Amino acid sequence: MIIQLKKDIATSERLDIEAKLTGNGIQAVDIHTQYNHYLVAIVNKEIDIRTIGKMAGVADVHRVTDAYKLVSRKWKLRATEIDLGDGVVIGENNFTLMAGPCSIEGEDQIEKIADQLVKSGVKIMRGGVFKPRSSPYAFRGMGIEGLKSFYEICRSKGIKIITEVMQVSQIEEMFDYVDIFQVGARNTQNFNLLDALGEVDKAVLIKRGISGSIDELLQSAEYVFSAGNERLMLCERGIRTFESAYRNTFDINAIPILKEKSHLPVIADPSHGIGIRKHVSRITLASMIAGADGAIVEIHHEPEKAFSDGQQTLNFEEFEHLVEQIDMLREVVK
Amino acid sequence: MIIQLKKDIATSERLDIEAKLTGNGIQAVDIHTQYNHYLVAIVNKEIDIRTIGKMAGVADVHRVTDAYKLVSRKWKLRATEIDLGDGVVIGENNFTLMAGPCSIEGEDQIEKIADQLVKSGVKIMRGGVFKPRSSPYAFRGMGIEGLKSFYEICRSKGIKIITEVMQVSQIEEMFDYVDIFQVGARNTQNFNLLDALGEVDKAVLIKRGISGSIDELLQSAEYVFSAGNERLMLCERGIRTFESAYRNTFDINAIPILKEKSHLPVIADPSHGIGIRKHVSRITLASMIAGADGAIVEIHHEPEKAFSDGQQTLNFEEFEHLVEQIDMLREVVK
Amino acid sequence: MIIQLKKDIATSERLDIEAKLTGNGIQAVDIHTQYNHYLVAIVNKEIDIRTIGKMAGVADVHRVTDAYKLVSRKWKLRATEIDLGDGVVIGENNFTLMAGPCSIEGEDQIEKIADQLVKSGVKIMRGGVFKPRSSPYAFRGMGIEGLKSFYEICRSKGIKIITEVMQVSQIEEMFDYVDIFQVGARNTQNFNLLDALGEVDKAVLIKRGISGSIDELLQSAEYVFSAGNERLMLCERGIRTFESAYRNTFDINAIPILKEKSHLPVIADPSHGIGIRKHVSRITLASMIAGADGAIVEIHHEPEKAFSDGQQTLNFEEFEHLVEQIDMLREVVK
Amino acid sequence: MIIQLKKDIATSERLDIEAKLTGNGIQAVDIHTQYNHYLVAIVNKEIDIRTIGKMAGVADVHRVTDAYKLVSRKWKLRATEIDLGDGVVIGENNFTLMAGPCSIEGEDQIEKIADQLVKSGVKIMRGGVFKPRSSPYAFRGMGIEGLKSFYEICRSKGIKIITEVMQVSQIEEMFDYVDIFQVGARNTQNFNLLDALGEVDKAVLIKRGISGSIDELLQSAEYVFSAGNERLMLCERGIRTFESAYRNTFDINAIPILKEKSHLPVIADPSHGIGIRKHVSRITLASMIAGADGAIVEIHHEPEKAFSDGQQTLNFEEFEHLVEQIDMLREVVK
C-alpha cells in the first residue's frame, strides 16, 4: 500500500496515520523524495484502504501488491518524465537518443563526437570514465579527470552527460559533472550504491543485470526511489543466454512489460543488446516500435580504433542514417 | 564447398568431378532438389576451387565454411522466395502475415476466422490439428478429419494453410490438405522428420527449438534442403530463459542474424514469443522492423474460449488494428 | 486422481465407477499396462476420494495433484524396479552401470568393449546405431545391421543392450535386438515416439530434454506409462546454460528431486553431463552420492579414434578405475 | 606471463627486467602480495621466456595464456592453503565445513549455533550481518553491532567467522571482527570491492555470480590477488537457469573445472545451490566427491523461525547427520 501524504501534513497527522497502521499490524516506511512524501506499507492482510484515505493529511492511497511499490504503474498511471533542464526531457512523448563512445579517450575524441551529436540534434552524450572490466589488466577508464574534460566540452556545446558510477565514494566527486548517473549491469544489485543514489537529486539510469529478472530490476529501482530519488530510468541491455551468435540476447519483450508494470521511462541499449555493429540500428528501431522511450547507442569517429567495444560501435555515417530512420519512425509511432 | 551442377550435366562429367574431389581427399554428397543439382563437399583442407569451377558440367562453385552449406547466404546472395501459387509469395519484398487459431476446433470456428482473414486481406491461415502437448491428458487436436474441414473451408475462400506435422507417417495423409508443413519447436531436431520433409515438394516452416541455437536451426534447415526440398522458411518463436515475466524470450536478435546468415525467409512467431495477448502486436511490429519477412499470429473470434493458448491469442478487433499498423509500417520499411 | 482397479474387475463395475466420476463432472482415462489397470482422472474440483475407494472393483485410490500422475511418488511410495532378466535389475538397491561407445562402429569394436564389460562385471552395454546429429553431413550410425552385430556379440557374452530409437518406424525392426530403448534428449518431447513406446513391453530410458524442465521430463514419462508401459527410467544428462567451460551443465539437483517426485529409477549420464573425459568419473561418483540409481558412461578401447564423442569417452584403464571407485562408494552409500 | 621476483631483488634489477620487457613491447604490472613479488605481463607475441628467466632477480617465470594469471594452476601446481590460525587450515587435504545461520539474529541465536559447531567439531561459523536483499523493504541484517556480538561469542568458543562484506567502506569497520570476508553473488563483479579486498591481509571467499561464468569468477579472483591478497577461496553457489523446481542450479561441473584451472581452494554452497532443505546434505556430499575443498552450509536451531532462508536451512539433527556422513566419506575420498 502506498499512502501519498499532503505536502503540508502536520506531524500529528502523520503520527495518527502511523498509529492507525500499527494498530492494524502494519509497518510503514516513511519516504521523502525531491517531490513527495509517502508512507509505504507492506500489507499481508486485508485492510479497507478507504479508512486510511479519509484521514487528515492523506492525499491519496493505493493498493500495490507488487514486490516493488513506488515504481509500480499501479498507483501512478501517468508516465514519469525526467527533465534534465534546457528543454531536454525524457519521457513518453519523445524517443530520446543518447549516444557516444564506450570509453572517454581524450579531448579530441570528445570534441569530435560531441560535434556529431550537435549536428544530429542529439542532446545527451554517453561515455565511460570508470569502466568495469572483467580483467584487472584491461583499460579501466580515464577516471575523474576524463570526466572533467567530458563535462567542459559538452557544456560548451549544450550537451548533457550520462556516465557510469561504480561505487558510493565516486558519487560526490562526479556529482558536478554529470546529468545522469548510470548504474551498470554488474551493479544492478549493488544495494549500497542504489541507496546512495537515492539520496542525490540527479537523474539515474539503472541497467538490468546481466541475468537479472525484470522483477529484480524494478526492485532495484525501488531502492533508489524509496531512498528519495524519483528521477529514475530503466534500461534493457540484453540478458545472458546459451546463444553465442551475438553478445547478449536483447530482451525486446522486456520493453512493453516494463512499460506496463512501471511508470518509469524505459531506455534500450541495443549496442550491448546485440553487440554486432551492423545490426545495432535495426535493434534500436525495433525497440522504439516495441515502446521504448529512448535508446543509448555507442558511436565513435573511428570505431576500429576505439579503446573498447569497437565491434558494436557505429561510425558517424551509420549513426546519421540511424537518426534519419528514427525520425521517420517518429511519425508512425505517433 | 558447394558445386552447382548444370541441369544437363552428363553422368561422365559428374563422375569426373567426383573423381577430382576424391583425388583431393574430399567426400561429396550428391543432392537433387526440385530446382537444382548440387555436390556438397565437407572440405578440411585448402583446395583451389577455381580448378573445380572450370570443369565441364559445373555451373558455379562456392566456398562455404559454415556448418550449414546450402541454406547459407555465402553462396546465394539473393533471398529465396517461396511461391505458394495464386499470387501468394513469401519473401523479402513483402511482409507476409499468417494468422489463425492455435487449434482447429470445428467448422464454425474455421469459417469465422477464415472470413476474418479474407476481410483483412490475409492469405495464409494457421491452425493445429496435431497438437504437441506436454501432458498426455491435454487436448491433442482434431487430427486428420479436422484438417480436411480446414482445407475445404480455406480452399473455398482462397486461403492457404499452414499446420504442424509431428511425425513422418503423417506427411502422406496430410499432403493433399496442406500448403506449408510446420515443424514445431519440439521437433526442430527430429532428424527423421526433417529428412522426410526434404523428400516432398511442399513448403516447410521450421521453428527454432525451445532452447535451440541459431546454428542448430540452420543445420536443421540444411537437413530438409539437402534431402531435396528448397522451399523452406525459418521461424523465430522465442527461447527458454530464466525470465518468468512472460512465456518465452522472443529473440529479436535472431532475425537480422538469420537474415545475414541465410537466404531463407525468416518468419516471426510473436504469439509464442511473448505469450501475452496485449503485447503480441508490438512484438510483431518490432520483428517487422528488425527484418522479418513475415509473422505467424494466433487469432480467434473468442480467445477466452479457445481450446488452447487463449492467453496469447488476439481477437478480431486487435487483429484488425495490427493489420493496419503493419500496413503503415510497410511504407516506412520500404 | 489415480484409481487402481482390481485385476478381475467386472466390466459393469468399471462402468459404475466411470458413471460415478462422470456424475461428478470428471473425465477419466482408462489405462492398461503390462501389470495393472488404472483410471486416471484430471480433477479440478473437490471430491471425497473415499466414496470412490469403497466401490466394487477398486483396489486403491490416490489423490495426485501433479501434472504427471502415474509416474508420481504420490501414489506409489515403493521405488520401481526394472527386471531385464538373467538377474539384471535396475532399481534402488543397486547402482547399475551401463557403459559402451557413443557409436557402434563394427564387430571388432563391439567385441573389445563387451569383453571389457564382462571383465568389469558390467551387465549392460550402450552403443548408438541410429545417431541424431546436428549436421546432415555427419556420421549417422551403422543402422539396423550394426544393431544386429551388437546384439549377437552381446548375447553371447550375457550382456544386455541399451540403444537409441529415433522414430516410431524403427521400434519394430529394433525390437528383437534391444533390452532398453533409449529416447534421446532431442526426442524427449517427441510425443508420437513416446506413445508408441508405451505400447511395447520393453524397458525405456528417457533422457531429459536439452533444455527440458524436470516437470516436462516427468510428463514425457507419463506419456509412455499412460500408453501402457511401466518399465521406465529417467535420465539426467545435463542442461543447456550460458556456461561454455564444458559441454552441458550436469544438473545434480535434478537427481534428488526426480527421486522425490517419482518412483521411477533415475540414471545419470555424466559423459554428456560434463563432456570432458578427465572429469567424467568424478561426476559419475557425485551423481551416485546424490542418489542416482545408475549411470550410463561412454567408454572405448581407443577414445581418440572413436567415430563420435571421443573427448568425453573413457578408456579401459580409466573405466576400471571408475568401477573400483563405485564399488568403494557402494559400501558407504548403504 | 608471470615473473616471480626474488624477495631481495634490487631496484636496478627490477628496472632491468622491465626495460627488457618494454624493449619487447610488453607492458608489465608490478604486484606485491603478502607473500611474494611478481611481474605480470600481458603478452600478445612470442617471446623466449628463458631469456627472462636467466636475468638477475628472477626467481621463476611461467607462460600463462589464460585471461586470469596469478590464480591459474598453470604457474602454481601446488594447491593453495589458507591458514586462519589456531590450526584452522583450508585446503586440499581436508574438507572444511563452515556452518551457521543465513542472518545473525541476536546473541541467543549465535550462542546456540556456535555451541552446536563446537559439539560437531566445526571451526568456522557463517552468518550475515549486512544482507543483500532484492527488496529495500526486507530485513537487511543487524549490521556492525551484530558482527561484534558474533565475534565475541565465537572468539570465546574458538570459532572463526566468515561474513559478507557489501561495500568498500565496510571493510575497515569489519576488519577486526572477521576471519574471512565473503563476497556475495551480487558483488562478484563489484571491482572496486575486489580491489579494496586485495589490499587487506585477511582471507577472502568469492562467490560465483548469479549467472557468472567460471572464467569471470577466476578473473574476479585475479582482481583480489593482483591487488595484493593471495588468501583467496572460490565458491560455487549455483547458477540461474530456466529450471524452477529448485532455487538455483548447483553447477557440480564447476568444481572439478575450477580445481583444474586454479590453485585456489573451492568451496561449495549447497544451501543456495539447491535451496531445498531436505536435499542440502546430498548436494554437500556430492560436491565433496566432486573435489570441493569445503562447504558452507546454512543451519539454525529453529529453521522455521529463521529471519531469512529458513527453507534451505538445516536443523541441528540434520546437521549432525551430515557431519557424520562427511566423516564417513573422508575415508573414501582419501
Task: List pLDDT tens digits, range D238-253.
Answer: 999 999 999 999 999 9
pLDDT digits (tens, 9 = 90+) for C284-323: 999 999 999 999 999 999 999 999 999 999 999 999 999 9
CATH topology of domain B82-333: TIM Barrel (3.20.20)
B245 touching chain D per CB within 8 A: no
Q: Which one of C21, C29, C38, C135 makes the best mutation probe of the B interface by having the most chain B beta carbons within 10 Å?
A: C135
pLDDT digits (tens, 9 = 90+) for D124-149: 999 999 999 999 999 899 999 999 99
pLDDT given at position D122? 98
D25 pLDDT higher than 90: no
pLDDT given at position B118? 98
pLDDT digits (tens, 9 = 90+) for C39-50: 998 877 778 888
- Give the three-state DSSP class for C115: helix
- Please compute the mean of the pLDDT values over residues C39-65 and round it to a whole number: 88
- Phi, psi values for residue B227, rounded to 5°: -85, -5
Residue D331's pLDDT band, with cuts at 50, 70 and 90, is confident
Q: What is the rounded distance in angstroms from the CA atom of residue D173 to the CA atom of residue D200?
A: 13
pLDDT given at position D112? 98
Better-predicted residue by pLDDT, C270 or B1: C270
Q: Could you tell me which residues come within 8 angstroms of residue A324 by beta carbon, excluding any fewer than 6 positions away?
A: none
Closest chain C residue to D274, measured at CA: C253
Q: Which of C132, C168, C226 sits opposite B169 (nearest CB)?
A: C168
pLDDT digits (tens, 9 = 90+) for B213-225: 999 999 999 999 9
Burial of A59 (0-12, 13-18, 19+ CB in 10 A): middle
Q: How far is D108 from chain A (nearest CA, A)?
A: 25
**For residue B220, which residues of chain C lie inside 8 Å, CB to CB?**
134
Q: What is the mean pLDDT of chain C?
A: 95
Q: Count of CB atoms within 10 A of residue A244's CB?
A: 11
Residue B273's pLDDT band, with cuts at 50, 70 and 90, is very high
- Please compute the mean of the pLDDT values over residues A158-172 and round it to a whole number: 97
A122 pLDDT higher than 90: yes
C197 pLDDT higher than 90: yes
Q: What is the rounded distance in angstroms from the CA atom of residue C270 to the CA atom of residue C268?
A: 6
Contact across the interface for D244 and B240, Cβ inside 8 Å: no
Amino acid at D173: E
pLDDT digits (tens, 9 = 90+) for B12-56: 999 999 999 988 888 899 999 999 999 998 877 778 888 899 999
pLDDT given at position D245? 97
Q: What is the rounded distance in angstroms from the CA atom of residue B34 to the CA atom of residue B227?
A: 10
pLDDT digits (tens, 9 = 90+) for A267-291: 999 999 999 999 999 999 999 999 9
Q: How far is D223 from chain C (nearest CA, A)?
A: 20
A40 touching chain D per CB within 8 A: yes
Residues comprising chain B, all counted: 334
Q: What is the rounded distance in angstroms from the CA atom of residue C176 to the CA atom of residue C160?
A: 12
- Please compute the mean of the pLDDT values over residues D259-279 and round it to a whole number: 98
Q: Residues B104-128, buried b or exposed e (16+ Cβ, 10 A)?
A: bbeeebbbebbebbeebebbbbbbb
- Please compute the mean of the pLDDT values over residues C123-131 and round it to a whole number: 97
- Please compute the mean of the pLDDT values over residues A291-320 and round it to a whole number: 96
Are D262 and D251 in contact by the 8 Å Cβ rule? The answer is no
Better-predicted residue by pLDDT, D331 or B9: B9
Lowest mean pLDDT among A161-170, B167-176, D12-21, D221-230: D12-21
D242 touching chain B per CB within 8 A: yes
Q: What angle do CA B207, B213, B214 make, to 5 degrees?
A: 70
Residue D333's pLDDT band, with cuts at 50, 70 and 90, is confident
Closest chain C residue to B216, measured at CA: C134
C25 pLDDT higher than 90: no
> What is the number of CB-based contacts under 8 A between chain B and chain C?
91
Contact across the interface for A282 and B256, Cβ inside 8 Å: yes
Q: Count of CB atoms within 10 A of residue D195's CB?
A: 18
- Please compute the mean of the pLDDT values over residues D277-305 and round it to a whole number: 97
Contact across the interface for B211 and C216, Cβ inside 8 Å: no
pLDDT digits (tens, 9 = 90+) for D31-41: 999 999 999 98
Q: Which one of C186, C232, C243 makes the best mutation probe of the B interface by having the most chain B beta carbons within 10 Å?
A: C186
**For residue B283, which residues of chain A lie inside 8 Å, CB to CB?**
252-253, 256, 290
Contact across the interface for A241 and C244, Cβ inside 8 Å: no
Q: What is the rounded distance in angstroms from the CA atom of residue D94 to the CA atom of residue B130?
A: 58
- Please compute the mean of the pLDDT values over residues C78-102 and round it to a whole number: 95
Q: Which of C215, C243, C329 sits opposite D214 (nearest CB)?
A: C243
Closest chain A residue to D195, measured at CA: A136
Closest chain A residue to C240, measured at CA: A242
Residue C252's pLDDT band, with cuts at 50, 70 and 90, is very high
Q: Which one of B234, B252, B279, B322 makes the best mutation probe of the A interface by having the most chain A beta carbons within 10 Å?
A: B252
Closest chain A residue to B211, measured at CA: A242
Closest chain C residue to A239, measured at CA: C242
Q: What is the rounded distance in angstroms from the CA atom of residue D210 to the CA atom of residue D187?
A: 9
Q: How far is A51 from chain B (nearest CA, A)?
A: 33
Closest chain D residue to B243, measured at CA: D242
pLDDT given at position A27? 86
Give the helix/strand (H/E) hosting C121.
Answer: none
pLDDT digits (tens, 9 = 90+) for D110-123: 999 999 999 999 99
C-alpha cell at C48: 471425497
CB contacts under 8 A, D 180-219 vs B, are: 211
Question: Domain segments of chain A: what residues?
Answer: 2-62, 82-333
- Please compute the mean of the pLDDT values over residues D198-207 and round it to a whole number: 97
Q: Which of D40, D134, D166 sits opposite A192 (nearest CB)?
A: D166
Q: Which of B253, B282, B289 sits opposite A246 (nearest CB)?
A: B253
Q: Which one of D211, D239, D242 makes the best mutation probe of the B interface by having the most chain B beta carbons within 10 Å?
A: D242
> What is the number of CB-based contacts under 8 A between chain A and chain C?
8
Q: What is the mean pLDDT of chain A?
A: 95
- Give the three-state DSSP class for D237: coil
Q: What is the rounded distance in angstroms from the CA atom of residue B119 to the CA atom of residue B112?
A: 11
A44 pLDDT higher than 90: no
Give the residue among B241, B219, B243 at the shortest CA–CA distance from B232: B219
Closest chain B residue to A279, measured at CA: B256
- Please compute the mean of the pLDDT values over residues B58-62 and round it to a whole number: 94
**For residue A213, which residues of chain B lie inside 8 Å, CB to CB?**
242-245
Q: Which of C251, C290, C291 sits opposite D249 (nearest CB)?
A: C251
Are A90 and A294 in contact by the 8 Å Cβ rule? The answer is yes
Residue C326's pLDDT band, with cuts at 50, 70 and 90, is very high
Lowest mean pLDDT among B86-90, B167-171, D47-51, D84-88: D47-51
CATH topology of domain C2-62: Alpha-Beta Plaits (3.30.70)
Q: What is the rounded distance in angstroms from the CA atom of residue B250 to the CA atom of residue B326?
A: 19
CB contacts under 8 A, D 251-280 vs C, are: 251-257, 260, 273-274, 276, 278-279
pLDDT given at position D195? 96
Contact across the interface for C250 and D246, Cβ inside 8 Å: no
Cut 0.80: pTM above it: yes
Residue D16's pLDDT band, with cuts at 50, 70 and 90, is very high
**For residue C250, which residues of chain D lie inside 8 Å, CB to CB?**
252-253
